[in-house]
């Protein structure tokens, strides 16, 4: 159970397109949201920007996408540098993810 008021209204898959540098939220064959990133060395991602298609906004998609991306980063043993204000806000609200922020390059 999550502590978020806006749980996603529907399920979606998250696909990491490493060549393009984007984690994409996909429902069916439609991309509905994305979190772009750059690779910074072998163990760090720079999270750049989160976007959600207008018709899917305010439905918890960005929150769930960010949660799944950070869970994937944790599973890979990597850290993050945050450029995206939406990701920064998410971590402020979910301090259990704060350990993923790279201490030398927050």
What structural domains and CATH numbers belong to the chain?
13-100 (3.40.630.30)
Look at the block and give the residue holding tokens 């944790």.
74
Location of structure tokens 């922020």: 101
Alpha helix stretches (DSSP H) within the chain: 61-75, 85-93
pTM: 0.89
Which portions of the chain are predicted below pLDDT 70? 1-10
Residue 8 has what pLDDT?
Answer: 57
Give the DSSP letter of residue 66. Answer: H
Cα–Cα dist 13/51, whole Å: 16
Average pLDDT of every residue of the chain: 92
**Per-residue tokens: 41:** 């060395």
């Amino acid at each position: 159970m999550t502590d978020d008021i806006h749980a996603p209204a529907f399920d979606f898959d998250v696909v990491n397109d490493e060549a393009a540098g984007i984690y994409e939220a996909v429902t069916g064959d439609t991309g509905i949201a994305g979190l772009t990133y750059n690779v910074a060395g072998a163990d760090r991602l720079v999270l750049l920007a989160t976007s959600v298609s207008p018709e899917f906004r305010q439905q918890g998609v960005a929150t769930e996408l960010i949660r799944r991306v950070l869970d994937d980063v944790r599973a890979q043993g990597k850290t993050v540098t945050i450029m995206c204000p939406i990701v920064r806000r998410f971590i402020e609200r979910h301090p259990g993810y704060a350990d993923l922020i790279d201490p030398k390059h927050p």
